[in-house]
């Protein structure tokens, strides 16, 4: 599409050039033919100066179109055409020995100045559109455009996608001002190492990209950039020096054929970067056949998620949560499942994690929220609004501006009791955008919606920050519960999490509890609730409704 647009611009440019040449020819012809006399139509005579001015005005219009189509070349053509027009007007003055065309000369000069100002403004706007405001590097839009152009022209090269770890805690703990300073320092280090070997881009967040021709040893270049980025950074906050250490990972992808797609190349580099982060075998990875299978799998699952959303192949199950001391029903956690007609079984852990790489996760969250609230509205009403419905929300979603407002609109639409709704988030949410996440949390709590914190202790937020948040529930992950009995250190850690949850004025629930001895241990550690196969497996809506009604009748 982009190259089709480029082709259309070139056609427009050629048409404008032809029209401008014809206008100049017409103007010259009339000036010579009429020799300073006007054009007589019926009883009316049109002065030659008026005719000349009209033709120049039309000429100026097409010169402006030339500048809009291609600022640099259009400006050159405009100078030439208007210069010729002005020269013709001056020549007419000497030939006819009249000043009838003098206004046309001034018009041509004014038009040149006006077009020059327009071109200057276009250049400024174009530069702002492709420049990252914080670092001064070219931005994601420029990266996409330049990579597509290089592929289209048949250039060969490589893309190095760089992810910076350690930036988000600086941004959260020291503030955005110092986070921006870190981004600028990293940008300067990248460009300093890169030199004239390629072009650097600021993608988003703490991510950068570099495009280099294939004659450059990209692995060696990536190693040099990583070494430079990971050198100590000292920030001066309120006169107190603060040392920061970053970690960088790079994924490399090659483009060598005009059939390559820019989006695919970037996705390949992203996959290679994630491989470098997770493999533990190094900080640089080049996309290969094994990773290609991963990309194909990712593409397949993405398509399946889209089809499931469109065709109603997703459905919900609900896992009960109980009070630990008297096994009283607290509520249910909502879990999503896929039921594709061809019998394909994709575990939620896979399709949700892949959906989180794109905006598909927003669609999944919206489906789960609306479906769960529609189904559980009756259960909450029947129980006197004592049953809690917990719904997981992605880190990307809770960190979006306006998420709380959109959720409250959905609560109003479904007529769901807000005091029965509990939104589960993880500490990754604060890594996405701490300010937006906190703002959304506070607004939800102001409207009676509860907040549960999963993955507590992963280190993405400071304890001081967590203590200030109105969290209702802290969740202990199944991975900690699995070794609760066998590992004394694990037991001490779970005990600490429970203690910290209570210090935060929150209750604590343990997930993935499967054995009676785990139940007894959690009782001794003063845990509040449990969820797991030991007391209840995930169940479909009708069974969950029956369980809730039985629990309410026993009260």
Domains belonging to the chain, first-starting first, are 2-129 (no CATH), 140-287 (3.30.70.270), 298-554 (3.20.20.450)
Q: Is 91 exposed, middle or buried (0-12, 13-18, 19+ CB in 10 A)?
A: middle
Alpha-carbon gap, residue 528 to 288, rounded angstroms: 48
Which tokens go with 10? 């070139």
Residue-level pLDDT at 234 = 86
Phi, psi of 336 (to 5 degrees): -95, 145
Residue-level pLDDT at 2 = 47
Comparing CA positions, the residue from 342, 260, 268 lying closest to residue 303 is 342
Rg (CA), the chain: 33
How does strand 450-454 pair with strand 473-476? Answer: parallel
User: Own/partner pairs for 319-323, CB < 8 Å, 24+ apart?
Assistant: 319/531, 319/536, 319/537, 319/538, 319/539, 320/531, 320/535, 320/536, 320/539, 320/544, 320/547, 321/388, 321/390, 321/509, 321/529, 321/530, 321/531, 322/529, 322/530, 322/531, 322/535, 322/536, 323/528, 323/529
Is 27:81 a contact under the CB 8 Å cutoff?
no
Which tokens go with 519? 């139940």
pLDDT of the chain, 555 residues: tens digit per residue = 445 545 567 787 788 888 888 887 777 776 666 555 555 555 555 555 566 777 777 888 888 888 877 777 878 888 888 777 777 666 666 655 555 556 666 776 777 787 788 777 766 666 666 788 888 898 888 888 889 888 888 889 999 999 988 776 676 666 778 888 888 999 999 999 999 999 999 988 789 999 999 889 999 999 999 999 999 888 887 777 778 888 899 999 999 877 778 888 888 898 898 888 776 668 999 998 787 787 778 888 989 999 999 999 999 999 999 999 999 999 999 999 998 888 778 899 899 988 887 789 999 999 999 999 999 998 888 888 889 999 999 988 998 889 999 999 999 999 999 999 999 998 777 766 778 888 999 999 999 999 999 877 555 555 666 677 789 999 998 888 988 888 788 888 899 889 988 988 899 999 999 999 999 999 999 999 999 999 999 999 999 999 998 877 666
Q: Is 204 exposed, middle or buried (0-12, 13-18, 19+ CB in 10 A)?
A: exposed
Alpha-carbon gap, residue 61 to 65, rounded angstroms: 6
Residue-level pLDDT at 1 = 45
Give the count of alpha carbons within 13 A of 44, CB side only: 3
């Amino acid at each position: 599409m982009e190259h089709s647009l480029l082709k259309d611009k070139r056609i427009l440019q050629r048409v404008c050039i032809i029209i401008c040449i014809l206008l100049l020819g017409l103007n010259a012809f009339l000036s010579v033919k009429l020799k300073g006399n006007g054009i007589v139509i019926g009883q009316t005579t049109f002065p030659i100066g008026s005719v000349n001015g009209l033709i120049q005005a039309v000429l100026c219009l097409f010169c402006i179109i030339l500048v809009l189509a291609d600022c640099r070349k259009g400006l050159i053509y405009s100078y030439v055409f208007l210069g010729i027009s002005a020269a013709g007007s001056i020549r007419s003055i000497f030939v006819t020995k009249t000043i009838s065309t003098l206004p046309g000369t001034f018009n041509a000069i004014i038009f040149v100045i006006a077009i020059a100002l327009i071109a200057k403004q276009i250049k400024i706007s174009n530069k702002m559109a492709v420049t990252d405001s914080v670092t001064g590097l070219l931005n994601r839009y420029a990266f996409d455009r330049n990579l597509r152009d290089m592929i289209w022209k048949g250039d060969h090269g490589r893309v190095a996608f760089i992810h910076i770890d350690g930036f988000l805690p600086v941004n959260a703990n020291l503030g955005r001002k110092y986070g921006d300073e870190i981004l600028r320092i990293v940008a300067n280090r990248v460009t300093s190492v890169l030199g004239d070997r390629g072009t650097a881009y600021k993608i988003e967040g703490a991510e950068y990209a570099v495009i280099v021709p294939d004659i450059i040893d990209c692995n060696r270049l990536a190693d040099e950039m990583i070494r430079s980025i990971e050198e100590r950074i000292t920030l001066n906050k309120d006169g107190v020096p603060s040392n920061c250490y970053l970690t960088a990972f790079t994924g490399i992808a090659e483009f060598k054929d005009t059939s390559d797609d820019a989006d695919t190349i970037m996705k390949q580099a992203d996959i290679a970067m994630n491989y470098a982060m997770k493999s533990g075998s190094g900080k640089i990875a080049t996309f290969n056949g094994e990773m290609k299978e991963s990309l194909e799998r990712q593409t397949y699952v993405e398509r399946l998620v889209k089809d499931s959303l469109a065709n109603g192949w997703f459905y919900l199950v609900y896992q009960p949560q109980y009070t630990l001391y008297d096994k009283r029903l607290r509520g249910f956690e909502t879990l999503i499942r896929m039921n594709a007609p061809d019998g394909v079984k994709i575990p939620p852990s896979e399709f949700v994690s892949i959906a989180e790489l794109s905006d598909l996760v927003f669609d999944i969250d919206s489906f789960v929220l609306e479906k769960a609230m529609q189904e559980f509205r009756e259960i909450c009403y029947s129980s006197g609004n004592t049953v809690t419905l917990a719904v997981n929300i992605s880190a990307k979603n809770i960190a979006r501006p306006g998420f709380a407002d959109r959720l409250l609109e959905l609560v109003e639409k479904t007529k769901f009791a807000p005091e029965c709704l509990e939104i589960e988030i993880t500490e990754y949410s604060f890594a996405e955008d701490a300010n937006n996440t906190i703002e959304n949390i506070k607004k939800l709590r102001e409207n009676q919606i509860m907040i549960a914190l999963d993955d507590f202790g992963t280190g993405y937020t400071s304890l001081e920050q967590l203590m200030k948040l109105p969290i209702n529930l802290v969740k202990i992950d199944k991975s900690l519960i699995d070794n609760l009995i066998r590992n004394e250190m694990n037991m001490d850690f779970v005990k600490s999490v429970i203690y910290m949850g209570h210090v935060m004025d929150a209750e604590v629930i343990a997930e993935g509890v499967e054995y009676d001895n785990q139940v007894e241990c959690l009782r001794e550690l003063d845990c509040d609730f449990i969820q797991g196969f030991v007391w209840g497996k995930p169940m479909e809506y009708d069974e969950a409704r029956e369980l809730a009604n039985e629990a309410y009748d026993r009260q």
